[in-house]
Amino acid sequence: MTADVGVRLERDGPVATVTLCRPDVLNAQTPAMWLALRAFARDLPADVRVVVVRGEGRAFSAGLDLAVARGVGDGSFAELTTLPPDQAADRIAEFQDAFTWLHRPDLISVAAVRGHAIGAGFQLAIACDLRIVADDASLSMAEVTLGLVPDLAGTGRLVDLVGYSRALEICVTGRRLAAAEADRLGLANLVVPATDLESATADLTAAILAANRDAVVEIKALLAGAARRSPADQQRAEREAQVRRLRDIAGLGE
């Protein structure tokens, strides 16, 4: 559905696949695509457990479509600068929703990254919980090269993944990271030959689905909050989660 705006959602049971489908421009992103992604999140069936994000053709996403952004209409640079600051910020908040739903607590999201993952493409990849990266990938947080900042919820995610110092260096230089460096920095969960990207993504998806869904949700919540909890609070969260699982397994419910 919605392939006419450059992004398509397909569902196969508990797996939903989001495909950026503008291969002629290396899946460059537009505000219309972000609004479609936001709508996908609202309409996603409750029994979906895994969301795979991929790009059609030889790239994941080359980032923001500058031809659109510099033109006119909703989300263009020209349109945003005509709005009062609070309204412009609200518009950007809608765009951020297209990315932040990918790490909501009831899903595991997997980015299958090959070729370019630049700017908005990089932010989309790190919005996902897990990343399988092809050995031909090239990643960059390139917004600074346009005099802009990463504003699609990517800054906090990048700090969580690689730490403040490395995130700062990546963002302020806008340099390209090859797959091997992405792996070394913890941006990739797995690096595979480009020809194996689809099968590796399918294998990871199958492994996630083989696990108990409620246990996966509890584990994700524990890990997602660990860095922001004290050790005592984290241990308490573990205890409470385990009691819930034991009661559920015993058929005692709440």
> Would you please indicate which residues are annotated as catalytic (active-site) residues?
143
DSSP strand pairing (138-140 vs 116-118): parallel
List, in sequence order, every residue forming a beta bridge with 55; answer none if it has no partner.
Answer: 20
Q: Which residue is associated with the tokens 């002629």?
A: 24
* 6, two tokens: 């450059």
CB 178 within 8 A of CB 137: yes
Q: Which residue is associated with the tokens 């869904």?
A: 213
The Cα 16–Cα 155 span in angstroms is 26
Residue 136 Cα to chain centre, angstroms: 19
The Cα 98–Cα 104 span in angstroms is 12
DSSP strand pairing (15-20 vs 7-12): antiparallel
Closest CA to 32 of 22, 23, 42, 24: 22
Burial (Cβ within 10 Å: 0-12, 13-18, ≥19) of residue 90? exposed
The Cα 217–Cα 64 span in angstroms is 32
| Residue 37 φ then ψ, to 5° | -60, -40
CA angle 185, 52, 111 (to 5 degrees): 20
